[in-house]
Amino acid sequence: MGYRVVVAGATGNVGREMLNILAERQFPVDEIVALASRKSLGTEVSFGDKTLKTKDLDTFDFAGWDIALFAIGSDATKTYAPAAAKAGCLVIDNSSLYRYDPEIPLIVPEVNADAIEGYKNKMIIANPNCSTAQMVVALKPLHDRAKIKRVVVSTYQSVSGAGKDGMDELWDQTKGMYVPGQERAPSKFQKQIAFNVIPQIDVFMEDGSTKEEWKMVVETKKIIDPSIKVTATCVRVPVFVGHSEAVNVETEEFLDEDEARDILREAPGILVVDKREPGGYTTPVECVGDFATFISRIRQDSTVENGLNFWCVSDNLRKGAALNAVQIAELYGQRILKKG
Ligand code: 2RA
């Protein structure tokens, strides 16, 4: 016996990946429905070798459904998540709406699976931001061994993090560079993204950081340990899929780079690719479609007493969004619903 599963926002980048990953991981589904807003109604989406026609989120009755994966943005989530939760359907939400609510668990299964018990509070579980998810997978095992005091991270985030419009803008702008008359001005991004990098993701906060940077700080504390200090610089780069991060950590205890490599090799969800030779590391194009968070360039930071640097790459639509949501659904099925 399996589960009755809803995917809301099924026509977007993340919603489509949710359906792919549910099928790939053979999530025990008895029945599945793909929901979309009225403007995408009737659009066909793939679920394994089946095709689903999207139904109207606005009129959908969540009663009797076990799990709803939401990828619809904060405004729509505010309208539909409480109704689903009230009907007894667990909402796993990819928007930022509930992430910072102390009553709502924010879960990365490799890191804080036990937080699942908090589902009872509101029948809603939040999925972290993409840039946080991959980083905490790497930080947790290092923190368990040597207690991380401070993290300095710079991100190189792909345009798919900004949705399909972001991908279209990179594609059209790149073509427009070569075809006179087809130039495309920035609209989704603040500046030209083709052949450029942009040090702004999301809006500015009062202290001069951006909301994306703030999210990395607050979410890391909530998921791993409030005592970890994080400072982030988030940058959009002209890559379609796959976020990269250069991470520097300072730990309380000394952690040798070889031991760190061994710890990361053993850690769940991580694949270490770290050869000190040309090409002996992972780049975003190599992680597309993969489940793992790839760690490379592990090395001591000799400018502080106990410091390490590493390079962290993952498919942002997967570990950073859809995969993590499906893993939460798996956890809820195994630990709470225990069907079958
Ligand atoms: C981005 N963090 O990459 C966002 C997506 N959640 O823009």
> Could you state, in order of their start, the residue ranges of all structural domains in the chain?
3-128+321-337, 131-316
Q: Which atom of ligand 1 is nearest to the CA of 131?
A: 2
Whether residue 236 is annotated as binding a ligand: the answer is yes
pLDDT digits (tens, 9 = 90+) for 244-273: 999 999 999 999 999 999 999 999 999 999
Q: Are 174 and 195 in contact (CB under 8 A)?
A: yes
Residues with catalytic roles: 130, 243
Q: Average pLDDT in the 200-208 region?
A: 98
State in words which class domain 131-316 has: alpha beta
Please give all residues whose beta carbon lies within 6 A of any atom in ligand 1, as ranges.
Answer: 129-131, 157, 161-162, 201, 212
Long-range residue pairs from 23-27, CB within 8 A, at least 24 positions apart, any chain: 23/47, 23/48, 25/326, 25/330, 27/2, 27/3, 27/326, 27/329, 27/330, 27/333
121 is in an annotated binding site: no
Q: 26: which residues sit within 8 A by CB, 6+ positions away?
A: none
Atom of ligand 1 nearest to the CA of 160: 3
Closest protein CA for atom 3 of ligand 1: 161
Average pLDDT, the chain: 97
* 264 Cα to the center of ligand 1, angstroms: 25
Q: Which pLDDT value is given to residue 41?
A: 87
pLDDT above 70: residue 6: yes
Span 320-325, average pLDDT: 96
Mutate-to-test residue for ligand 1 from 167, 201, 314, highest number of ligand atoms within 8 A of CB: 201
Tell me the H-state helices in 148-283. 163-178, 211-223, 257-266
Quick check: helix, strand or coil at residue 43?
coil
Cα(314)–Cα(299) distance, integer angstroms: 19
- Higher model confidence: residue 39 or residue 302? 302
Measure the N-to-C terminal CA separation of the chain; round to a whole number of Å: 5
- Whether the per-residue pLDDT at 338 is higher than 80: the answer is yes
- State residue 1's pLDDT score: 83
DSSP annotation of 31 reads E
Quote the Cα angle for 281-272-322, to 5°.
95
Q: pLDDT category, 42, cuts 50, 70, 90?
A: confident
- Are 35 and 84 a contacting pair, CB within 8 Å? no
Q: Rounded to whole angstroms, how far apart are CA atoms 138 and 296? A: 11
Instruction: Specify whether the CB–CB gap between 136 and 324 falls below 8 A.
Output: no
309 a known binding residue? no
Options 2.60.40.10, 3.40.50.720, 3.40.50.300, 3.40.50.10890; which CATH number does 3-128+321-337 get?
3.40.50.720
Mind listing the pLDDT tens digit for each residue in 265-311? Answer: 999 999 999 999 999 999 999 999 999 999 999 999 999 999 999 99
Could you tell me the distance, in angstroms and rounded to a whole number, from the CA of residue 315 to the centre of ligand 1?
12
Strand boundaries in the chain, DSSP class E: 3-8, 29-36, 44-47, 50-53, 55-56, 67-70, 90-93, 124-126, 148-157, 229-236, 243-251, 270-272, 293-300, 307-314
Return the CA Rg of the chain: 20
Distance between Cα 129 and ligand 1 center (Å)? 7
Q: Which residues make beta-bridge pairs with 140?
A: none
Which of 74, 93, 130 has most ligand 1 atoms within 8 Å of its beta carbon, as the pocket-test mutant? 130
Percent of the chain with pLDDT over 70: 100
The predicted complex's ipTM stands at 0.96
Q: Is the pLDDT of residue 339 over 90?
A: no
Question: Helices (DSSP H) in 87-152: which residue ranges?
Answer: 109-112, 119-122, 130-146
Pocket test for ligand 1, best of 70, 95, 96, 157 (most atoms within 8 A of CB): 157
- Report the separation in Å between the CA atom of 104 and the middle of ligand 1, taken as the mean of its atom positions: 21
Q: Is the pLDDT of residue 340 over 80?
A: no
Backbone angles phi, psi at 14, to 5 degrees: -75, -40
Instruction: Return the ligand 1 atom nearest residue 201 CA.
Output: 7
Indicate if the pLDDT at residue 25 is higher than 90.
yes
Instruction: Specify the pLDDT at position 189.
Output: 98
Nearest CA to ligand 1 atom 4: 161
Cα(233) to centroid of ligand 1, in Å?
13
**86 among the known binding-site residues?**
no
- Whether the Cβ atoms of residue 79 and residue 16 lie closer than 8 Å to each other: no
